Amino acid sequence: MFGKLAAKLKPISLRNFWFDKYGRGLLLQFLVLLCVAGFLATISINAITNLQRAGLSSGFGFLADQAFFDINQRLIEFSSQSSFGRALVVGLLNTILVSSLGIIAATVIGFMAGILRLSNNWIASKIITVYVEVTRNVPLLLQIIFWWATLTSLPKVRESINFYNLFYFNNRGLRAPSPIFETSFLWLALSIIFGISLCIFLVVWARRRQHRSGKTFPSVSVGLTLVILIPTMVFQLLEQPVVWDTPQATRFNFRGGFNITPELLALWFALATYTGAFISEIVRAGILSVSTGQTEAAKSLGLRSSQIMRLIVIPQAFRVIIPPLTSQYLNLTKNSSLAIAIGYQDLVSIGGTILNQSGHALEVVAIWMVVYLSLSLGTSAFMNWYNKKMALVER
């Protein structure tokens, strides 16, 4: 890298440096970088000076202070005796949880809606059209509040909606069985990993075999069978290393199981349906971008409609779908910060509580910015890698 740079700069004299296109570009970039660094240094020094003048401390040492508040929805242990730093970790995990669930659900909804909107069935097509147009044109915040109001208006705990004595719906959320893992569960986890690895190997092998000989192999169905069959056999051999703690109704609440709060459910439903409506339009546009000649040629070969969509249309449409799909994933992650409107304790909500208690506004806002920037860059990097894998390769 430095050798190429030296080779380009070597024939350029200092007197003609400004008149050279490459040298002038380097100089301008250096000056812009210098100005940005000076601006950031100036505002940082100014902020620290003003904080000291107001008698406020700066720095991230407050993260070790005691929180003095509780969090109802958490993936790790937390109590009011824990620190601000641990509270932010809980909020970060809650943000990642609802964003991940939302991305998965929105992708499924979007692909199904995009394909069904192009269906020859008039009723199905019009129902999806109404869903897409209504959902896209109603503000997301109103949809979050609507779902939250709907879920909190469910029956009380004593009148819970019962599903096979396993799941209970009420105004406190969804009560479901929780797993209790025995020591032998490690072998079951390893068998699941082995089954998934074997499925991936079969898919890769089948594609290479098809490229060489043109022969197809049902790798997906065989692989999924192995993913289910191998862990099931190990599960039976280990005499059920997972025990389920089912919820039991008491006089005022439930004992056992775990509870999914209505705030999490409302936020999940709203993010999934809202983003899914936009994804459906992206999918529809990607399918329509594939030439009709591809479909006609596939029909002439005797392929069924499902095979044409799965083997010919969707793989080509992916190259159009993936770039805008990345933007929708980023929007969903950032839109999860609207959780503060219904009291779901994500990173922004917990950070706001810490900000009010500690007074460290700049530090908390900086943590917000770094976290959301990291999540967005991570998502973009993964989707860019996947986009390159799906790109057409010149022969």
Give the pLDDT confidence of 238-261 residue by residue, as tens digits.
777 777 778 887 777 787 778 888
Closest CA to 115 of 275, 279, 269: 279
Q: What does the pLDDT average to over 257-267? A: 88
Q: Which of 118-127, 228-237, 316-325, 346-355 has the lowest mean pLDDT?
A: 228-237
Q: Please, what is the average pLDDT of the chain? A: 84
Segment 59-111, tens digit of pLDDT: 778 888 888 888 888 888 888 888 999 999 999 999 999 999 999 999 999 99
Closest CA to 379 of 323, 341, 303: 323
Q: What does the pLDDT average to over 137-159? A: 90
Given a cut of 70, whether residue 393 has pLDDT beyond it is no
3-state secondary structure the chain: CHHHHHHHHCCCCCCCCCCCHHHHHHHHHHHHHHHHHHHHHHHHHHHHHHHHHCCCCCCCHHHHCECCCCCCCCCCCCCCCCEHHHHHHHHHHHHHHHHHHHHHHHHHHHHHHHHHHCCCCHHHHHHHHHHHHHHHHCCHHHHHHHHHHHHHCCCCHHHCEEECCCEEEECCEEEECEEEECCCHHHHHHHHHHHHHHHHHHHHHHHHHHHHHCCCCCHHHHHHHHHHHHHHHHHHHCCCCEEEECCEECCCCEECCEEECHHHHHHHHHHHHHHHHHHHHHHHHHHHHCCHHHHHHHHHCCCCHHHHHHHHHHHHHHHHHHHHHHHHHHHHHHHHHHHHHCCCCCHHHHHHHHHHHHCCHHHHHHHHHHHHHHHHHHHHHHHHHHHHHHCCCCC
Cα dihedral: 87, 90, 92, 98 (round 10): -140
Instruction: Look at the alpha carbons of 109, 110, 111, 115 in this order and tell me if their dihedral is positive or negative.
Output: positive
Given a cut of 90, whether residue 57 has pLDDT beyond it is no
Q: Which of 159-163, 280-284, 318-322 has the lowest mean pLDDT?
A: 159-163
Share of the chain above pLDDT 70, in %: 93
Given a cut of 60, whether residue 10 has pLDDT beyond it is no
The Cα-based distances of 38 to 27, 33, 42, 343, 367 in angstroms read 16, 9, 6, 40, 22
Segment 196-225, tens digit of pLDDT: 888 888 888 888 887 788 777 777 778 888
**pLDDT of 278:** 95
**pLDDT of 6:** 53
Given a cut of 70, whether residue 18 has pLDDT beyond it is no
Given a cut of 50, whether residue 1 has pLDDT beyond it is no
Segment 349-384, tens digit of pLDDT: 999 999 888 878 888 988 999 999 999 999 999 999
**Separation between Cα atoms, residue 317 and residue 338, nearest integer Å:** 32
**Separation between Cα atoms, residue 40 and residue 89, nearest integer Å:** 27
Q: What does the pLDDT average to over 324-336? A: 93
**pLDDT of 2:** 46
Q: Do 78 and 71 meet the contact criterion of CB atoms below 8 Å apart?
A: yes
Given a cut of 90, whether residue 22 has pLDDT beyond it is no
Q: Do 73 and 339 meet the contact criterion of CB atoms below 8 Å apart?
A: no
Highest mean pLDDT among 68-77, 174-183, 285-294, 374-383: 374-383
**Separation between Cα atoms, residue 282 and residue 377, nearest integer Å:** 21
Given a cut of 80, whether residue 283 has pLDDT beyond it is yes
Given a cut of 60, whether residue 13 has pLDDT beyond it is no
pLDDT tier at 191 (50, 70, 90 boundaries)? confident
Given a cut of 70, whether residue 56 has pLDDT beyond it is no
Q: Which of 34-38, 47-51, 55-59, 332-336 has the lowest mean pLDDT?
A: 55-59
